[in-house]
Amino acid sequence: MAVVSTPATLEHAVPVMDNAEVLRIRNDFPVLNQLVNGQPLVYLDSGATSQNPLSVIEAEQEFYEQRNAAVHRGAHHLAVEATEVFEDARQTIADFIGADYAETIWTSNATEGLNLLSYALSNAGLWAAQGRGDQALRGLALKPGDEIVVTEMEHHANLIPWQELAFRTGATLRYIPIGDDGSLRMEQAESIIGPRTKVLAFTHASNVLGIINPVQELTALGHAAGALVVLDACQSAPHLPLDVKELDVDFAVFSGHKMLAPTGIGVLYGRQEFLDILPPFLTGGSMITTVTMERAEYLPAPQRFEAGTQRISQAVALAAAANYLTETGLDRIHRWEAELGQRMVAGLEGIPGIRVLGPAAGRERIGLAAFDVEGVHAHDVGQFLDSRGIAVRVGHHCAQPLHRRLGLTATTRASAYLYNTTDDVDRFLEAVAGVRAYFRA
């Protein structure tokens, strides 16, 4: 099984994308057809937020024009239709990641999904202490002496919730270090992940390094230790085929706004056997069976974790985004972005005074590259590129510990998607080549 394929593996498996096809794809994205500072926009910040095709924009608009109503709360025609499209969207996303319908929970974003999970795990300890739940729930409760393991490359969203869970429960947070090339020190992972490990959380693909981590190898280590395995799929779900069952992870999160959908919608996947016993994080309407003045009983997943009025139009739009990606072909998208990523890295490595983070040219990565320009602050680099119509991300990319490990405070990051051409990359490289001379670095 190869959920993550190399460009060589894909060469004879799927039709090749090319610039001509990408230019046709760009016609689906209205925002890309504009000038910025007098230059045609080159959008290379999809790792932060992607743009929306017309089909996604129209799906959300159509919901408000034709079906706007609260879901699961009415018997009238609009309420029934709204509920149907809302739950159809859930099935679409479940199919998109290889999950079951009831294992797919709506959140506002991946950050909320990780916080939901971390608080549910700490609530497991509270329930167990009060005699609520069964032996299976008590097995999920963390306590002093237990360990939570993350990696040194994590986005803050997959680090801080676990720091706080360790604080609330008395558990210890540990991390798998990286080498100078950014790859995980797997020989140390084998000694760090052990009998005390209760949670192992790591990113599928780094938002700074572009590295694709060995998910199945890490998952095997986690499960051998009896740990829950949590996957941050924010930089993988939009870009390459993702099957949570084949990867064998227990939980996974991703955000809609990084995969052609609106902001305000994300997904938490979880194995059914865990979701149905974990205590809820948010409580209120729509997630209960019986309520008295003294206590409440809760529905099973997914409604168990979906209190209150839901993100209905956003969920419908996310399903439209998943359909767009599926119809284009995630294998094909991954191969095209890998080609763009290699073009970026090879070009950057050829510019004097540029340090590229992560794998060198020729090694597998997703279609992004973060880099440091000697003598020029990342914010200045970003403004210089913006003056030429090129949108990139600057800063620490919500990964301060990773930057600190690499001796940096900030970098510039270019991230491609299915609507970027080789010409976009070449314009970017040409502009970067002029940065140091412009600032007299």
pLDDT by residue (tens digit) across 316-371?
Answer: 999 999 999 999 999 999 999 999 999 999 999 999 999 999 999 999 999 999 99
Q: How confident is the model at residue 2 (pLDDT cuts 50, 70, 90)?
A: very low
Read off the pLDDT of residues 140-152 as tens digits, 9 standing for 90 and up: 999 999 999 999 9
Q: Do the domain assignments include residue 32?
A: yes
Class of residue 153 by CB neighbours under 10 A (exposed 0-12, middle 13-18, buried 19+): buried
**To the nearest whole percent, how much of the chain has pLDDT over 70?**
97
In this structure, are 193 and 322 located in the same domain? Answer: yes
In this structure, are 103 and 22 located in the same domain? Answer: no
Higher confidence at residue 134 or residue 174?
A: 174
Read off the pLDDT of residues 275-329 as tens digits, 9 standing for 90 and up: 999 999 999 999 999 999 999 999 999 999 999 999 999 999 999 999 999 999 9
Higher confidence at residue 412 or residue 131?
A: 412
Mean pLDDT confidence for 419-426: 98
pLDDT of residue 12: 47
Mean pLDDT confidence for 160-181: 97
pLDDT of residue 4: 40
Q: Is a pLDDT exceeding 60 seen at residue 101?
A: yes
Q: Do the domain assignments include residue 440?
A: no
Q: Do the domain assignments include residue 429?
A: yes
- Residue 331 corresponds to which tokens in the numbers above? 């294998």
Is residue 398 part of the annotated active site? The answer reads yes
In this structure, are 212 and 307 located in the same domain? Answer: yes
The amino acid sitting at 62 is E
CA distances from 3 to 10, 205, 240, 324 (A): 11, 13, 8, 19
**Which of 283, 302, 326 corresponds to the end of one domain?**
326
- Residue 157 corresponds to which tokens in the numbers above? 């969203």
In this structure, are 257 and 385 located in the same domain? Answer: no
In this structure, are 169 and 104 located in the same domain? Answer: yes
Average pLDDT in the chain: 95
Mean pLDDT confidence for 409-436: 98
Mean pLDDT confidence for 176-194: 96
Mean pLDDT confidence for 425-438: 98
CATH code of the domain containing 371: 3.90.1150.10
**Which of 326, 352, 370 corresponds to the end of one domain?**
326
In 302-384, the DSSP E strands lie at: 354-356, 368-373
CA 409 from centre of chain: 23
Domain residues for the domain of 40 are 7-52+329-435
Contacts of 148 (CB under 8 A, 6+ apart): 142, 162, 165, 166, 171, 172, 173, 174, 197, 198, 199, 200, 201
Q: How confident is the model at residue 13 (pLDDT cuts 50, 70, 90)?
A: low
Q: Which residues pair with 108 in a beta bridge?
A: none
In this structure, are 37 and 76 located in the same domain? Answer: no
Q: Do the domain assignments include residue 132?
A: yes
Q: Is a pLDDT exceeding 90 seen at residue 30?
A: yes
**To the nearest whole percent, how much of the chain has pLDDT over 90?**
93
Q: Do the domain assignments include residue 226?
A: yes
What gap in Å lies between CA 99 and CA 242, rounded to an integer? 10
In this structure, are 290 and 405 located in the same domain? Answer: no
In this structure, are 38 and 75 located in the same domain? Answer: no
Q: Do the domain assignments include residue 2?
A: no
**Could you give the number of structural domains in the chain?**
2
Q: Do the domain assignments include residue 198?
A: yes
Q: Is a pLDDT exceeding 60 seen at residue 11?
A: no
In this structure, are 414 and 369 located in the same domain? Answer: yes
What gap in Å lies between CA 231 and CA 187, rounded to an integer? 20
DSSP secondary structure string for all residues of 229-266 = EEEE-TTTTTTS---HHHHT-SEEEEEGGGTTSPSS-E
Q: How confident is the model at residue 441 (pLDDT cuts 50, 70, 90)?
A: confident
Read off the pLDDT of residues 253-283 as tens digits, 9 standing for 90 and up: 999 999 999 999 999 999 999 999 999 999 9
pTM of the model: 0.95
Length of the chain: 441
What gap in Å lies between CA 385 and CA 232, rounded to an integer? 30
pLDDT of residue 122: 96
What gap in Å lies between CA 296 and CA 300, rounded to an integer? 13
pLDDT of residue 14: 62
Mean pLDDT confidence for 416-423: 98
The single residue of 57, 398, 408, 433 carrying the catalytic annotation is 398
